[in-house]
């Protein structure tokens, strides 16, 4: 066997959504023509931020942890020999995240490959989806262990002690494991109300390796959520349901928040950095003050915040004083009924517009307004009314960085969410329920067959069609309002038209001739499209021009690659 490329006690691997995406001739990876909601590809190469906390927590206790974002690595090096690469990894245990259901195919395929190559090394799964589907997940042969919970830092530490012979594995909380092929389920008893003091991610290595870039960072103030959007698998009721706890927010303490932000200070790149503050509405006041103090001290250039309510002026002033500030708000629909049923609806559009005016006058750099497709009581007509409202919003705030976005809920409604668990009460029909259902769906020919839901008000076909048409209409409105340059808007419109035509052609051939017919008739076009889109960089509705990136916080390969595409050495 080759010399090790990477050695650690725990190697955390993030899989692509579909493991063999580079070779597929029967699966079209087109959602919105690569102008989607976030700057990531259809392989969902964003790993959970808990990886970073776990890396820090275990290192403080004497264990070496390395993170390998295999999804991002494969997108960067399309010709990477994955078995050869995995053969050069050495670990006491391999950890794979199954945080989101969209990694069901890639995660299980990666587990199988690891067991073939390293049969004596246990494979561990964790995350929201792993917890929800723990029983089914343990039934797959390559899966040796599942760690349940929303904070698994101390349980994984105890697992590492057990694998080192310093603790009985039967005493590791929240762990399911196999003993001579039989599944053993340990007590589920680790459900803390706050996160450990030393769970702060250490951003120094990432920033040191990207000093000449403008890095994109992310901060998460807590695990869980105080709010209850029915479509979200991380909502208040979903947390109660999946993790069997009454306490739905486990927050980082102010000193932990400050420690994490301070780890960003000192790098030349930090003054060009943008930090996205996900779930910022779950900050406590003391933790938010610590965060803003840290931003100012570190000199971070730009901070973005997700907000549930309309942020108070006094808070906006503090944010603006700390860094250039963008606020993200998500009414989901202009229609108050749809907005409320989606779990929002805490302000009217008139109140929102007045707030935007005040926020901009305070000095907020920009406001992004997010609308969704696939919500209760939402019809195609309602979606296009949202587009018209977005047109009004851009005209009212012309030239003032008010940016509406329109995103379909793809490819899945989150298992564990209220709408998924109680579909009839909320007007949903669910097509796939089990982990295996979703694993198979991920390799359906197009996202029309991949969608795991439709609503009483829109069929799957209508959701797909209205998504392309409405986003195209919004793009034309942005061109008219001067939000997008004409050449950029025309490029986006071309991408949308190409993707829509191909999706509907794949669906037509699939209905007539099945998957085999798709591969036979359209395989060359599908492979060419997938390769061009996935190798051509990433884009989103905020910045819709494809670009190659390695400065995103999750572009953590942990290995450098030589010119041939083979792993060369640890970073």
Phi, psi of 185 (to 5 degrees): -115, 110
pLDDT at 491 over 70: yes
537 torsion bin: left (phi>0), alpha (psi -120 to 50), beta (else): left
Beta-carbon contacts of 236 under 8 Å, excluding residues fewer than 6 positions away, are: 224, 225, 226, 227, 228, 248
DSSP reduced 3-state for 304: strand
Three-class secondary structure assignment of 444-459: CCCHHHHCCEEECCCC
Q: What is the pTM of this model?
A: 0.95
Residue 571: per-residue pLDDT: 40
Letter string b/e over residues 43-77, b meaning 16 or more CB atoms within 10 A of that residue's CB: bbbbbbbbbbbbbbbbeeeebebbbbbbbbbbbbb
Q: How far apart are CA 392 and CA 362, in angstroms?
A: 22
Q: Which domains does the chain have, with CATH numbers?
A: 1-149+152-190+440-450+485-571 (no CATH), 204-439+453-459 (3.20.20.70)
* Residue 108 · residue 439 · CB < 8 Å: yes
Instruction: Note the pLDDT of residue 190.
Output: 95
543 pLDDT band, cuts 50/70/90, is: confident
Each residue's pLDDT tens digit, 513-529: 999 999 999 999 999 99
Q: Is residue 230 pLDDT above 70, yes or no?
A: yes
CA dist., res. 255 & res. 291, Å (int): 9
Alpha-carbon gap, residue 470 to 382, rounded angstroms: 10
Quick one: pLDDT at residue 540?
84
pLDDT reported for residue 38:
77
Rounded to whole angstroms, the Cα distance separating 237 from 418 reads: 7
Say what the pLDDT of residue 1 is: 54
Give the pLDDT confidence score for residue 545 in this predicted structure: 80
Give DSSP secondary structure letters for 225-290. Answer: -SS--TT-TTSHHHHHHHH--S--EEEPPHHHHHHHHHTTTT-GGGGG-EEEETTGGG--HHHHHH
Q: What percent of the chain has pLDDT over 90?
A: 89
pLDDT of amino acid 537: 85
66-74: average pLDDT = 96
* For the chain, the helix, strand and coil percentages under 3-state DSSP, each to the nearest 5: 45, 20, 40
Q: Cα(147)–Cα(50) distance, rounded to whole angstroms? A: 13
How far apart are the C-alpha atoms of 392 and 465, rounded to whole Å? 23
**pLDDT band at residue 34 using 50, 70 and 90 as cut-offs:** low
pLDDT top residue among 537 and 393: 393
Confidence at 563, pLDDT banded by 50, 70, 90: very low
Per-residue pLDDT of 71-91, as tens digits, reads 999 999 999 999 999 999 999
Tens of pLDDT, residue by residue over 401-456, are 999 999 999 999 999 999 999 999 999 999 999 999 999 999 999 999 999 999 99
Under 8 Å between Cβ of 535 and 529: no
Give which of 329, 266, 257, 262 is closest to 289, Cα–Cα. 257
């Amino acid at each position: 066997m080759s010399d090790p490329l990477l050695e650690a006690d725990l190697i955390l691997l993030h899989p692509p959504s579909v493991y063999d995406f580079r070779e597929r001739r029967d699966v079209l990876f087109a959602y919105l023509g690569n102008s989607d909601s976030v700057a990531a590809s259809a392989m969902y190469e964003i790993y959970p931020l808990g990886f970073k906390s776990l890396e820090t927590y275990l290192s403080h206790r004497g264990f070496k942890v390395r993170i390998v974002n295999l999804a991002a690595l494969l997108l960067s090096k399309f010709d990477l020999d994955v078995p050869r690469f995995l053969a050069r990894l050495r670990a006491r245990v391999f950890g794979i995240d199954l945080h989101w259901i969209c990694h069901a195919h890639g995660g299980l395929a990666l587990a199988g490959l690891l067991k073939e190559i390293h049969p004596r090394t246990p494979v561990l799964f964790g995350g929201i989806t792993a917890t929800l589907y723990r029983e089914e997940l343990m039934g797959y042969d390559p899966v040796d262990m599942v760690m349940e919970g929303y904070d698994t830092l101390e349980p994984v530490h105890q697992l590492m002690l057990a694998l080192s012979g310093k603790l009985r594995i039967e005493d590791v909380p929240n762990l399911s494991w196999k003993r001579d092929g039989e599944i053993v389920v340990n007590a589920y008893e680790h459900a803390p109300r706050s996160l450990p003091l030393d769970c702060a991610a250490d951003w120094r290595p990432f920033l040191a390796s990207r000093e000449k870039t403008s890095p994109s960072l992310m901060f998460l103030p807590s695990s869980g959520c105080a709010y209850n959007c029915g479509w979200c698998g991380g909502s208040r009721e979903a947390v109660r349901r999946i993790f069997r706890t009454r306490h739905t927010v486990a927050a980082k303490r102010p000193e932990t928040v400050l420690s994490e932000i301070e780890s960003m200070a000192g790098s030349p790149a930090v003054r060009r950095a943008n930090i996205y503050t996900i779930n910022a509405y779950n900050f406590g006041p003391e933790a938010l003050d610590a965060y803003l103090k840290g931003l100012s001290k570190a000199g971070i250039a730009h901070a973005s915040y997700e907000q549930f309510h309309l942020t108070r002026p006094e808070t906006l002033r503090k944010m603006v004083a700390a860094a250039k500030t963008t606020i993200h708000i998500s009414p989901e629909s202009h229609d108050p009924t749809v907005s409320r049923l989606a779990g929002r609806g805490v302000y009217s559009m008139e109140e929102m517009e007045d707030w935007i005016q005040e926020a901009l006058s305070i000095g907020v750099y920009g406001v992004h307004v997010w609308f969704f497709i696939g919500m209760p009581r939402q019809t195609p007509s309602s979606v296009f009314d949202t587009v018209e409202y977005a047109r009004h919003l851009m005209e009212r705030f012309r030239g003032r960085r008010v940016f509406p976005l329109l995103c379909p809920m793809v490819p899945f409604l989150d298992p564990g969410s209220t709408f998924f668990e109680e579909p009839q009460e909320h007007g949903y029909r669910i097509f796939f329920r089990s982990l295996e259902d979703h694993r198979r769906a991920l390799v359906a020919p197009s996202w029309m067959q991949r969608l795991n839901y439709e609503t009483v008000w829109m069929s799957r076909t209508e959701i797909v069609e209205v998504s392309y048409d409405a986003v195209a209409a919004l793009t034309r409105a942005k061109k008219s309002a001067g939000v997008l340059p004409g050449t950029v808007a025309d490029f986006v419109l071309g991408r949308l038209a190409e993707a829509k035509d191909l999706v509907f052609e794949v669906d037509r051939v699939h209905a007539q001739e099945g998957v085999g017919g798709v591969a036979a008739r359209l395989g060359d076009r599908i492979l060419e499209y997938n390769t061009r889109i996935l190798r051509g960089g990433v884009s989103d509705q905020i910045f819709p021009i494809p670009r190659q990136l390695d400065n995103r916080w999750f572009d953590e390969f942990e290995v450098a690659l030589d010119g041939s595409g083979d792993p060369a050495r640890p970073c």
